Structure 1
Amino acid sequence: MATSISTAAALLFFFLLATIATATHNITHILAPFPEYSVYSHYLSLTKVADEINSRETVTILILPNAAISALANKRPLAAVKNALRLLTILDYYDAAKLHKISDGTVLTSTLFQTTGNAAGNLGFVNITNLRGGKVGFGSSSPGSKLDTTYTKSVKQIPFSISVLEVSAPILFPGLLDVPTKDSANITGLLYKAGCKTFADLIVSSGVLKMYTEAMDTGLTVFAPSDMAFDADGVPNISTLSEAELVTLLQYHAVPHYIPKSSLQLTQGKITTLATNAAGNYTLSVGSIGNDVSLRTSLDTSRVASTVLDDTPLCILTIDSVLLPAELFGVPPAAAPAPASEASVPELAPEPSLASPPSILESPADAPDVIADSMAKNSSPAIAGKWLFSIFSVIVAMIAGMML
């Protein structure tokens, strides 16, 4: 009996350890009690770097007070701010104690910016140097860079998962804040190269490209069907649409928010499109399984295939099918019930049984519009704590039963 109890206790310990190790974190929720970092939190959400942080099991965020981040973002495009935020996000765990225990003086560590593919060579790495006397400096791995960023104080830690540290200034190197200018010609050229020539020609001839361009400043995500998608079975002849209908269809393929694929994976429910107005919902339902993201209308489903451009605040994604809104093409009629056969045997009434729970894979057709961080809210520490407490209670009860 003692052996059984000790075995159960050991299993409980390792279960709790594994659960804690895989617990999720939410950076914007962590920063919520600290108004002095509200601007930093705002830009983490606006650039979707928050989603990238929340998807990492181990991470250290170097944050700036409101005045410092405001000075960095002033009159700069969001894409430049995103680069800086990614370089301030270290893909390892460092708290105050670990910083001061750097024995050889300097450590080279990777950042989110290194994972983007935009960092030439080792520019996405950061040097952490123990300057002694209680000071720790941070600097770019770019040759000749100085340690102009210093550790100020510890803000919040979840041991071995996420650490939030305040620093004095952003980490910069020449070219970090330089981002290419987005223009109409660039968008159509990218769509041509991605195999979306038909879609590119349509947005140009209809004038919708101008609408896309005007929406870029505040955020835009475009879902571009491939050329083959327009020739697929079941796709209506686009040439039969009126000019107004064609414009609405193309607006339906864009969302007035910056939502990269990584953020779509966290989105549940419906999202509005540029076509959404008082005359029609024109919404899309988003679902994901693993890394696969699908967009659903009342008439069809399309898979997000690839990323053509992810440059805050503009994201262009290719999709496998043309998105067909019911407001334009009608709702398919319900299937007529099959006629009963004269020779059919009367069906016996089913035995009483408990109602089956709804499937977690059902489409949330009536869910409200959500933004990309809605999933993160469902994984808050409070909810995770309640779930962990429930599991703990069940296991304790099992152990108690074994002792009787």
Structure 2
Amino acid sequence: MASALVSSTVLSVFLVFVATVSAQTPPAAAPSGPLNFTGILDKNGQYTYFLRFLADTQVDSQIQNQLKTTTEGFTVFAPTDNAFNNLKPGLVNSLDEQKKVQMVLYHVLPKYYSLNDLQFASNPVRTQATGQDGAIFGLNFTGQNNQVNVSSGVVETLVNNALYQKKPLAVYQLDKVLFPEEFFEAKSPAGAPSPATTKKPSEPKSSSKASEPAAADNSGSSGRNIGLGLAIGIALACMGFLS
């Protein structure tokens, strides 16, 4: 009887201990799925145009794949639908396919930047759109107290709401579409002479040379006229003498 009572007491103490440990042990975290880059934009519901350009240029799949292996991360600036609606009509459609890709990549930095990081970044900050021909396609950042402005040289706007900010990905909202100033530079090198300029110096020389022979011809004709008059005068004098 006594042994049964001891066994029951021990069992009760054991069960209380197990219940206490179970209560103190946090539940195992549910496995998180892969980071969905486009899902972040789609969830916010005002990036339809940007999502379309990401898909058309296949930049969305490139970023999604590289997020699995990158150690530097990415920073994406997402223009809202209003930002695209406020563009000059036909501006985006006037870009060729290469420039459309560059436009999208111009909104992506190949490194994770928090808002605080952007304030102290060394300008210009290289984007994914950096050209193979040596064009920088950089962005300049200024600001303080986590209020940051971004400038492309032709477009400047405030870096607004952080849609996602956890390494390896930061996504920020923009109220304007960024265009690199390289898109608007003249194709010919600065200061290069135009074809009309190269012809002008030769024209006075040609005109001067053409006038010199004409002056020589007039001089010869005048000499012949004087000689003929002298001969006629001598002939008339002789005729008068003979008569």
Same fold (TM over 0.5): yes
Q: Percent identity?
A: 23
Residues 234 and 289 (structure 1), Cα distance of their counterparts in 2 relative to 1, 3 Å cut: farther
| Partner residue in 1 for 2:176 | 321
Task: Give, in angstroms, the shift of residue 232 of structure 1.
Answer: 2.0
- The partner residue of 2:104 within 250, 259, 266 is 250
| Partner residue in 2 for 1:144 | 24
Letter in 2 for 1:311: K
Alpha-carbon separation, structure 2, partners of 1:312 and 1:180 = 15
Deviations 1:202-225 (A, max 9, x none): 111221212222332311111000
Gaps of 5+ in 1: 1-142, 146-171, 332-404
Task: Give, in angstroms, the shift of residue 313 of structure 1.
Answer: 0.5
- The partner residue of 1:299 within 142, 151, 154 is 154
Deviations 1:305-332 (A, max 9, x none): 111112321111111111110112337x
Matched, 1:261 2:88: no
Alpha-carbon separation, structure 2, partners of 1:269 and 1:234 = 28
| Partner residue in 1 for 2:35 | 182
Matched, 1:239 2:93: yes
TM-score for the superposition, normalised by structure 2: 0.59
1:194·1:308 contact (CA, 8 Å) conserved in 2?
no
- The partner residue of 1:288 within 143, 156, 160 is 143
The structure where helix makes up a greater share of residues is: 2
Task: Give, in angstroms, the shift of residue 186 of structure 1.
Answer: 2.1
Matches within 5 A, 1:73-222: 144-145=24-25, 174-175=28-29, 178-183=31-36, 186-190=39-43, 193-216=44-67, 217-218=69-70, 219-222=73-76
- Structure 1 or 2, whichever has the larger Rg, is 2
Secondary structure at 2:101 match in 1: helix
1:224·1:318 contact (CA, 8 Å) conserved in 2?
yes
Alpha-carbon separation, structure 2, partners of 1:235 and 1:292 = 30
Task: Give, in angstroms, the shift of residue 200 of structure 1.
Answer: 0.8
2:141·2:148 contact (CA, 8 Å) conserved in 1?
yes
2:40·2:163 contact (CA, 8 Å) conserved in 1?
no
Residues 282 and 173 (structure 1), Cα distance of their counterparts in 2 relative to 1, 3 Å cut: farther
Task: Give, in angstroms, the shift of residue 234 of structure 1.
Answer: 5.2
Letter in 2 for 1:302: T
Secondary structure at 2:158 match in 1: strand
| Partner residue in 2 for 1:271 | 125
When the two chains are superposed, the root-mean-square deviation of aligned CA atoms in Å is 2.6
Secondary structure at 1:267 match in 2: coil
Alpha-carbon separation, structure 1, partners of 2:90 and 2:145 = 31
TM-score for the superposition, normalised by structure 1: 0.36
Gaps of 5+ in 2: 1-22, 187-243
Deviations 1:269-321 (A, max 9, x none): 22111111332100101111322111111101021111111232111111111
2:83·2:177 contact (CA, 8 Å) conserved in 1?
yes
Deviations 1:125-153 (A, max 9, x none): xxxxxxxxxxxxxxxxxx615xxxxxxxx
Secondary structure at 1:257 match in 2: coil
Task: Give, in angstroms, the shift of residue 189 of structure 1.
Answer: 2.1
2:50·2:80 contact (CA, 8 Å) conserved in 1?
yes
The structure where strand makes up a greater share of residues is: 1
Alpha-carbon separation, structure 2, partners of 1:247 and 1:233 = 18
Secondary structure at 2:124 match in 1: strand
Residues 182 and 276 (structure 1), Cα distance of their counterparts in 2 relative to 1, 3 Å cut: same
Letter in 2 for 1:327: E
Residues 264 and 235 (structure 1), Cα distance of their counterparts in 2 relative to 1, 3 Å cut: farther
Task: Give, in angstroms, the shift of residue 245 of structure 1.
Answer: 0.8
- Total equivalences in the alignment: 161
2:38·2:51 contact (CA, 8 Å) conserved in 1?
no
